[in-house]
Structure 1
Amino acid sequence: METKKTVVITGVLGGIGTQLAQTFKENNYTVIGFDVKDQQSPYCDKFFKFDLHKYCSDADYKREAEATFDVEIPEIFVLINNAAVQILSSLSELQLQDWNQTLNVNLTGPLMLSQYFLAKLEKAKGSIINIASIHHQLTKKRFVSYASSKSALVGLTKALSVDLQGRVRVNAISPAAIDTQMLRDGFDNNEAKVQMLNEIHPSQRIGKPQEVSQLALLLAEDKLGFINGANLNIDGGISNVLKDLD
């Protein structure tokens, strides 16, 4: 019987994170989930309540977490850095603590987890997948911290692919609007607004979490091993749209 490969997914309880866990579980992976929330997931073989912000800012917390992972995660084939925070503010109202938390969770955390798991990923000839965002290239007002962090995450992906050449592949996925509860909450669960969002995409709909997870699964597998240092947009064509005035 083929040995199951292990995937570690951060932000595993969110809309995309849950679907990532389900897709990899259904494809015979051992799924290890990290999330700052403490809830059970039916798709995780192991789950750890884990605070990426504290991991990056508290040396004692980092040491204790890694001591646990040393024992509980003996091997890993794929690291998916999916966890993110999105704190909206304009430049004039931006708080330094919000900026630092955003960078810790969205950028420094992926860097430090990649560093921590590097030896095990290299041994498994595995890969790292960073979940970035369309905001790395197209953004809106009040997304200063989030857009900056996702731009840097794409840059980190490219830099790591070069730095780790021949050792571990590193790729990024940049979704646009994906139909999650977080997105709907951002539109105050207003179905008319969500419908308008569907219609401005050339695909005439927004994305589904399983489309992101299926792309991640393809990137994780050896069949597409020549894809390295790539950032793949999954955006329904919205990045090609220049809106005319009505």
Structure 2
Amino acid sequence: MHKHAIITGTSGAIGQALAEKFKRSGYKICAIDIKEIQDQNVDFFIKTDLNQFVLNKNIQEITFKKIETWLEKNHIDILINNAAYQYVSTSHPIDETEFMTSYNINVIAPYILISHLKNKMTKNTGNIINIGSIHTKLTKPGFVAYATTKAALAALTRGLALDYEDTVRINCIEPASVETPMLHDGFKNAPESMRLLESYHPQKRIATPNEIAELAFFISSEKIRFLHGACIDISGGISSRLHDPL
């Protein structure tokens, strides 16, 4: 019998890796993304702008009805809130629209999905995983909106773990830099900076999307049910490093 997983942000590299890992492990995959995708690992696709999803109750209702249609009489075994919006600017005041879009996609949308779908999750064995960021605790210039929302996502994870008690498990993964096309595109005009970024990490490399997917699959295991309300650092050790001049 298949298990059922819902994954947001599946058009990105991490989302694709998550879908592939869980699909190969016997899950049926429902993908939610703003971009149309053709992926053999996705069984059911819902095109949704998560910012509008937060702002528009009608879009929420349509989305949840589509999920119910896909599920039929089955339950959700895992929900992974992976979609994110990253706005970068060192100019203040930050555009309020950009700040609210960041908050809606990175925090409010996960909360709405969690709170509305929690009762459709497999009781006592259902899993919720939020994909956070090292920016929860460590950040850099220009990332105030993104870092603020990722810190809120961590707080949401911890708080809901207390409220939901033993009915479902909820945890958060907080990666440092991950090797994605989007990251490489940001360094396309400065490849030496990409090599410098890698050298900053104690392992002299950055994470792969597959490593994030492997961790997500591992922490969803019934063998470690005591893992609940945790925000897990997967930073290759860079979160322990001070970048002083000497």
Shorter-chain-normalised TM-score: which range? over 0.9
Partner of 1:161: 161
Partner of 1:12: 10
Partner of 1:146: 146
Percent identity of paired positions between Structure 1 and Structure 2? 37
1:45-102 CA-to-partner distances (Å, cap 9, x unmatched) read 1111111111100122112222222222342100000000101123514111111111
Q: Structure 1 residue 208 and structure 2 residue 212: aligned?
A: no
Is the 2:171–2:229 contact (alpha carbons within 8 Å) kept by the matching residues of 1? yes
Residues 16-55 of structure 1 mapped to structure 2, 5 A cutoff: 16-55=14-53
Amino acid at match of 1:245: P
Instruction: Give the alignment's TM-score, normalised by structure 2.
Output: 0.95
1:155-204 CA-to-partner distances (Å, cap 9, x unmatched) read 00000100000101000000000100111122236332211111110111
Alignment partners' CA distance in 2, 1:109 and 1:189: 34
Amino acid at match of 1:4: H
Shift of 1:37: 0.4
Partner of 1:82: 82
SS of match in other structure, 1:104: helix
| Runs of 4 or more consecutive aligned structure 1 residues displaced over 3 Å after TM superposition | none
Is the 1:184–1:190 contact (alpha carbons within 8 Å) kept by the matching residues of 2? no
Is the 1:91–1:144 contact (alpha carbons within 8 Å) kept by the matching residues of 2? no
Shift of 1:123: 3.1
Shift of 1:124: 6.5
| Alpha carbons of structure 1 residues 244 and 89: separation in structure 2 relative to 1, 3 Å | closer
Amino acid at match of 2:117: F
Is the 2:33–2:48 contact (alpha carbons within 8 Å) kept by the matching residues of 1? yes
The number of residues matched between the two structures is 244
Alignment partners' CA distance in 2, 1:188 and 1:146: 22
Amino acid at match of 1:28: G
Partner of 1:94: 94
Q: CA RMSD in A?
A: 1.3
Partner of 2:199: 199
Alignment partners' CA distance in 1, 2:110 and 2:98: 18
Shift of 1:10: 0.1
Alignment partners' CA distance in 2, 1:86 and 1:189: 20
Is the 2:10–2:19 contact (alpha carbons within 8 Å) kept by the matching residues of 1? yes
Alignment partners' CA distance in 2, 1:140 and 1:162: 31
Shift of 1:122: 4.5
SS of match in other structure, 1:25: helix
SS of match in other structure, 2:17: helix
Shift of 1:148: 0.3
Q: Which runs of 5+ in 2 are unaligned?
A: none
Amino acid at match of 2:158: K
